[in-house]
Every structure is written in C-alpha cells, then in structure tokens.
Amino acid sequence: MFRCVGKLAVVTGASSGIGAAIVQNLAKQGVNVVGIARRESKVKELAERLLNEKGKVYPYKADITDESEVVQAFQWIETNLKQPVKILVNNAGLSILRDTKEGNTDEWKKMFDLNVIAAGTCVRETLKSLKNHNTDDGHIVNICSIVGHRTLADFPGFYVYSATKHAQKVISEGLRQELIRAKSKTRVSSLSPGYVQSELFASAPEDNMQTLAESPHLKPEDIADAVSFIINAPEHVRVHELTIQSAEELF
C-alpha cells in the first residue's frame, strides 16, 4: 500500500540514473515530484514520458552547490505548488576517483560541496517548508553509499569520496536524533547502495572503469524500489539505515 499518494517530493540529481529512476517510481505511486538537476532538459524529457502517471513531475533547473539556487527552488515550490515538501530524496552526488596522495583540493571541495553541504542545505529548506505549513510529518532520505561504511582496498582513489559519504551518513543519524528529541514526526533515513550502474563513476580512471565494469552491480530501479520501501513503511516504523547490494558483491 502506498502511503504517499498526493504528497510532494523533491528529488535532487533527477536527470539520470538513480535520480531519474526514483522520480519515475514516485510518480507511478501518485507522488508529485519536483525533479531538480542542472540538466533540466533531461528532466523535462522524463516528465513527458510520465505524463500519464498518477503523480505529476515538475522539472526545475538548479545547481544545488549554490545555496541561493536551493533557496530559490524552494521558494518556487512555495509560490507555484503551495504544498509542503513532505519527501526529500538527497540523491545528487559527485565522485572523482583519484589517489589521495595527489592532493587535488579543488576536487575534494567539489565533492564535499555537493555530497555534504548541498545535501544539508536541501534538508534545511525542506524542514522550513514543513514548518511554514504547520506540519512535521515529512521524510528525508539521504542516498549515501556502502563506501561510506568502509574503505575499499581494491578501489584506490575512492577514499575522499568515501569520506563525503561517511559524513552524510553521520549527519543523517545526528539529524534523526535531533528530530526525535524535538518530538517531530519527520523521519530520516540513510540508504547506502553498493555499486550501481550509473553515470556517477563515468570519470573514473580506465583501470578502475574496467574493474567496475566486471563487478556485480545493481540497477537504478533497485535503489528506487528501496526508497519506495523506506517511505511506505508503516507510521510506527522508522527505517534509520538501509544497505542494499548486488547478491554477488563481495565488499
């Protein structure tokens, strides 16, 4: 049974891969979705394909590493849709695989800006949206990663990316505790997939790409199904943390 019919969701990184699969899954359930991405044209194409689904998809172009653009996006939602954001799926992410000893701080900053800071900004604006509508029964789902739980010796170059995902996981748990202490009904979930076939690692070095290509992997639709499971859990159930991996994945 779908509990979220008619609610409004925001999905970041909605133009392809996991994000697009989540948008499609939610729309089929009857959830209205604002799909945020830098490549708005991709989200528009997705919205057109989903025109006959129960939920409506609203494409919105934004670079969420720019705080002002996140604020503007939520202002647009308030002005045009006049609904609280009941579901946030922080999916946008960046992985630049390079040995830590090379010390490329610009790349480190880009990953932390998107994977950690931008996700936090979206959380803040979602909580503001709920408060503005005098409700607090939202759900925040942060797409983390199995590499946020442990480093992978067989995949050099992952370590700073792993650090960003560990940070996101820790912040998710801290936020969950904050909201429980405040007697809020808003739930916070951390979803950590293993290797998923997507664009995330498209810039990986050739030897890493070969290893990834030969590795067991999940499909974006598997992650979308996991998000659906999380947000449709009974009201008395909170899925704090969920890991999902290919049945054949070793790490």
Token pair, residue 247, equals 């049945």
Q: Is 161 a catalytic residue?
A: yes
58, 60, 159, 161: the catalytic one is: 161
What integer pLDDT is reported at residue 134 of this predicted model? 97
Using left for φ > 0, alpha for ψ between -120 and 50, and beta otherwise, residue 30 falls in left
pLDDT, tens digit only, all 251 positions of the chain: 678 999 999 999 999 999 999 999 999 999 999 999 999 999 999 999 999 999 999 999 999 999 999 999 999 999 999 999 999 999 999 998 888 888 789 999 999 999 999 999 999 999 999 999 999 999 999 999 988 888 776 666 788 999 999 999 999 999 999 999 999 999 999 999 988 876 555 555 555 555 555 566 789 999 999 999 999 999 899 999 999 977 666 56
Instruction: Supply the DSSP symbol for 101.
Output: G
What integer pLDDT is reported at residue 246 of this predicted model? 76
Q: What is the pTM of this model?
A: 0.91
Tell which CATH classification among 3.30.300.30, 3.40.50.720, 1.10.10.10, 3.40.50.800 matches the domain 8-244: 3.40.50.720
Over the range 153-169, which residues count as b (16 or more CB within 10 Å of their CB) and which as e? eebbbbbbbbbbbbbbb
